Each structure stands twice: as C-alpha cells, then as structure tokens.
Structure 1
C-alpha cells in the first residue's frame, strides 16, 4: 500500500507531489518519504535535485540518521547521477546538529565552502543553535562575528551591533 502511494507521488512531475504535497504527507509517513527518495535516486539524472531535496527533508523530519544515510548514498552516486546543492547541504547540516553531531555539521559546512557555494546566513542557523544548546555561546558568537563576516554573510557595518548584543547576551547567562 505504501509503495503504491509513493509511486503515485513520484508520477506527478517526477517529484513528490500529491498526498498533501509531501512524501510523508499521508498514512505511510516516514516510510513513504524514504521510498520516494530511494526511487528518485534510482532515476539518477532523470530526478530533479528539487525533488530529492524535498524527499530528503521529509526523511529528515522522521529520522535525521536515515537522512544522513540517504545523503551518503546520494554523494556516492556521484555527479554523473545527481549533484547535491546548497539546499541539500543545509538539510544535512540540520540533521547532524539535531543528532547532536556538531562535528559532522561543521564537516558538511566545510564541504559547502570547499565546493565553492556562496554560503548563506541560514546555512549557519542549525550550527549556531547546536552551539548554544551546548552552552558554547562564545563559539557561536565567534562564528557570527568572524566567520560569517569573512564569508560575506553579514555586512561589516552590523559587526558593532552584534558585539553589543554579545556583551548583553552573555550577561544574561
């Protein structure tokens, strides 16, 4: 039954439409999302990165570990099949952080930079949340004040306001 529903979802524009617009939008949930991702990955170049990212995000909602596993399969498929984009890496970073593996989240961020993507401020959000949850606010603020500025995510004129916020934020802790 779940496979039939996932097949219906795949037929719609080669992505994961139908069943509420999400792979996990119906009765099968996480299992449907995993099946849709697997089917799209099997298609290789016939699958859109948008469809893969949507199904990967649906898998991630149910199980960050399952999403990381599927990303690894996607990466092993190589550029001949499908190439991860900035959105894919954002999903991966979020999964690593939700699984309390900040080290893997930072490794994924390193891949983003190494591959030459223009890093967006939102890419850092799960990492910053994870650092703050670990009571590593000084590391989080260092990223905001130094690394994000270096990567062009924050205009230099905002640095003074962020320093002010850091001082007041640390007093609250």
Structure 2
C-alpha cells in the first residue's frame, strides 16, 4: 500500500490579511504624496514639491518592504489598485494638514498590525513591525513640524521654502541600515 503525503495548505492569518491591505494603504499614501508634490510643483514651490516627491518614494518603498516580507515568509503578495486620491486644493496649509492626518492614519494602521501580530503569537511579524513603528514616530513628527512652519509663515510660502532649504526635516539620508529589505530595491 502506497503512502500518500497530505498537502499542507497555508491558512492566511489576520496579520497577513492586514499586511495585504497595508500594501494598498502605502501605495495610496504614495500616490497622495505625488498629488501633493505636483500641486506644489505647479505653484513653483520646488522645495515643497521635492519634499513630497521624496515622501511619495518613501511610501512606495514601505509598500515594497511589506511585499518582500510576504515573499520571504512564503505568502503570495497581492499588488492592489490604489484608492482615489485628492487633487483639488486651494492653499498650502490644506495639503500639509492632509499629509499629517494621513501619517496619523498610517500610524494607527501600523499599531493595529503590530498588535495583531502579537495577539496571534507571530513573533516574526511583530519584529518586522518594530521598524515601521519607529518610522511612524519620525513621520508624524516631521509632518507636525512642517505644518507648524507653514502656520508660522502666515501665507509666505517662500519662508517655508527657505526653511526646507536650510533644515533637513524627515530627510535622514535615505533608508537606514535597520530598514527591512525593499522588493526590487529601494528607489
């Protein structure tokens, strides 16, 4: 009598499901930052545009870190369509306030991911989320600072441009050595 091996099927955990959703969230955040950057670029504000183009790449890289993690843990990543992004703005403060709220929302999503990994006893997943938790502290802090600078400039965006030329908020020179690997390489 021949012995046949039973095929083991991987059951997706809640944590893995949330990671798949987070890929969409990160790509959507990236596209929203592109829309913000283009608005500033179109208003001839190159420092603000550059800042948000960089933010867009950073969010794209975050999505691709999650993609790489899923592949590394033998879970097939699904690359989703992104949500609709906002393109209609009337003044700079609106854009920066939107960006800050977006970062606060991402922070809540990352906290949920870390909590879910812990609740499910997924120690590898919990460890993976630690870098993202640290990153969100920096992201919210940087965007809060930028919004404060915009408010203090009282409509003079050249003061904001000068500030960005002088300071390096949220620009620690690219990916840090502790960052997770980015599928396809970081941009």
TM-score strictly above 0.5: no
Flag the structure with larger Rg: 2
Q: Which has the higher helix share?
A: 1
TM-score (norm 1): 0.27
Larger RCO, structure (CA 8 Å, separation 6 or more)? 2
TM-score (norm 2): 0.25
